[in-house]
A and B are shown apart, each in its own frame.
Chain A
């Protein structure tokens, strides 16, 4: 048999049919709307929230890269706290795995920013261009004033929303009121314009142009979700037994209107109205079963329930249910099955990580000290035969007030510490300082001393002294 290569070229090479969604009402739609309102309120308003501060601008949440501090209400995060970020990422991952194992891609369907912004842009399209049939009509129209105005107008609005999204993002990194004024008067820094420009373009491009392709082609999560799903995981599912019956779905033509008539003739409850497909933001048919394109937004459930109500059939032909339950002979009402090793394991990991993070944040000392020994040379012999070791003591003042720090030693004579003429150092609020310290020990003491401790005492009485171990080297 001759081998002639690929049977058909990749679908990437072909023009995709644009997805034009129909709007829908229902509890999942309401939940999505509520999430959007809450998320947008937080995202767009938070940079404008004032907060009393001593050492920085009065902004409740500000990621101040210039002073290398993140202000989150009364918590100030320093570069030394980078460990928290690692914990936060771990918590986010564990939370994602936990929810996916339990109720599928809840993140994708309700919380992901791609979903939120796509949802908003679909709303903009509907407000300007009308409902699905009107938009399909508009797409088929020859280019004219109405088409240019409506399609151009909705894209212009999307770009405006993208711009404000980008400006809001950048506003988290500097004092928002000043920043916005500087941005529009041309006085902001170059990086601000680049950030705003890139984010405006990417937001518009991702949510306004390529939309569902981000989920189906670009997002890695869609591809590895499969390993998190189990037979007991609740997912948006079509009850094909009920919907198809023995002879498949069919339209409710005369003689097939009531359930009894349909069941008698072997047809299922699905009246093939196609609404579940029309409302889908990724343009799939949920009746084909669980598929990687499904973002679990639940809009097809709303659409189907509305139809079931109108034809008088029971709700739940499309519903949240598990694969195991659906394939059983007598499907029970859908239930959250949490007593599973994976779910409990993820929950445990989540609790432990959250506990560690909270404990660490709660017990952080306001003075951060690290001591580095000068290693070139490791030790110096002085003219009287005693040994000198040198250290660089890095003190970070994590409080909102300037403080003075006193350095002393423990485990060796106090007089062996030499700071020159410096008695104590002043470190400004939120700043750090590296000071030189010399430790001279007599030959006999030096040869017995391997370790000692530096003690840093703050002038702020609320701050506990910090004890840092150090090594002493000499010729032994």
Chain B
């Protein structure tokens, strides 16, 4: 057994293990102790201002009057209600949102008071449209139209290009946002023979400058304008579509329902167009936004789609 020849004066707790293992009893640093006591004081101050002690299903809410916070909330029915409560993160967030709305109001008012055409001429105002419009678009439109409004073939149109089924003027776009759209094309599988559908599909491909069978296309052109298929009723004599109905322009290079850009072979392209003619469409539905966005918001969003996305006419 080694002899304990410890000569220093460090205090120990008196506990000894294995004869020589001791527990030192050094004092805590003074700054640490004081910091510890200060946290006690902090908690008391905290109870005065914030929700703290749980009591059953309830909790202490701090001293009323010392920590009250007032904000304006919009009820689901659109009614504005002023609420006063104790400090909490949600109410503080609401106050900030109120301040933000107040700060944005003058810009919204400015847009609302201007004719559509003049907004784009005001470069400083357009910066506001760009940033607020982007947020509104992302929150409301991007789930279908995708980020950057690039659309998705077979699902939603690209809003950045210059093709507009329902018209690309400010008024058209505003109307689309306010009332929504309901695109429809009947299926032709009961009406036409498979060969006739092939002929029509070839004609549609020809009009867009895609590879096609010239003979079948010629027959398709006749069929297009015949009473049998009656395509021209909706798509028009020149196949350029009708804005009133939202029927597609079949002569341009832009595809919404038939995935031509994604089809590698000529056969695949033909099959895509045939699929659309055969089955028709009932998915061209856009909901109305008039109940969800205010008229000022819709106007700003219209300018954003027309000018910031850049496809407007």
Contacts and interface: CB of A to CB of B under 8 A. Distances in A.
Interface of A: 1-9, 12-13, 374-377, 380-385, 388, 390, 392, 418, 420-422, 425-426, 433-436, 438
B10 A425 contact: no
A7 B10 CA distance: 7
A434 B254 CA distance: 30
B121 A384 contact: no
B6 A4 contact: yes
B199 interface: no
B127 to A, nearest CB: 6
A3 B4 CA distance: 10
Nearest to B4: A2
B267 interface: no
A390 B8 contact: no
Given A9-B10, A421-B117, A376 B252 contact: no
A440 B183 CA distance: 29
Contact of B2 (A2, A7, A420, A433): A2
B310 to A, nearest CB: 5
Contact of B29 (A3, A12, A433): A12
B160 interface: yes
Interface stretch (B19-27, B89-97, B186-194, B216-224): B19-27
B124 interface: yes
Given A383-B161, A385-B209, A390-B310, A422 B121 contact: yes
B126 interface: yes
Interface of A is mostly: loop
Contacts of B308: 436
A219 B121 CA distance: 57
B147 interface: yes
B10 A6 contact: yes
Contacts of B8: 4, 7-8
Contacts of B163: 382-383
B37 to A, nearest CB: 17
Given A2-B6, A433-B127, A421 B310 contact: no
B110 interface: no
A426 B121 CA distance: 11
A438 B120 contact: no
B172 interface: no
Contacts of A436: 126, 130, 307-308, 310
B29 A381 contact: no
Nearest to A5: B24
Given A377-B150, A438-B310, 9 more contacts: A2-B4, A13-B30, A377-B158, A380-B161, A383-B162, A383-B254, A420-B120, A421-B117, A436-B126
B10 A377 contact: no
A435 B123 contact: yes
B153 to A, nearest CB: 12
Interface string B1-45: 010111010101000000010101011011000000000000000
Nearest to A383: B252
Contact of A2 (B20, B30, B253, B254): B20
Contacts of A7: 8, 10
Contacts of B302: none
Contacts of A418: 310
A426 B29 CA distance: 63
A376 B12 CA distance: 69
Contacts of B121: 421-422
B162 A374 contact: no
Contacts of B161: 380-383, 388
A382 B20 CA distance: 87
Contacts of A377: 148, 150, 158, 160
B249 interface: yes
A385 B150 CA distance: 16
A434 B253 CA distance: 31
8 contacts: A2-B5, A4-B6, A13-B26, A375-B148, A383-B162, A385-B209, A420-B307, A435-B126
A4 B10 CA distance: 9
A53 to B, nearest CB: 22
Interface in B102-148: 117, 120-121, 123-124, 126-127, 130, 146-148
B22 A374 contact: no
Nearest to B31: A12
Find the residue from A1, A5, A383 having the highest chain B CB count within 10 A.
A383
B24 to A, nearest CB: 5
Nearest to B255: A381
Contacts of A3: 20
A380 B148 CA distance: 11
Given A2-B4, A388-B161, A433 B310 contact: no
Given A420-B120, A436-B126, A384 B253 contact: yes
A433 B10 contact: no
Contacts of A392: 130
Interface string B282-313: 00000000000000000000000001101100
Given A376-B147, A382-B161, A383-B249, A4 B120 contact: no
Report the 4 A-B pairs with minimum CB-CB distance, sorted nearest first. Answer: A376-B148, A383-B252, A377-B150, A2-B20
A434 B124 CA distance: 8
Contacts of A8: 8, 10
Contacts of B162: 382-383, 388
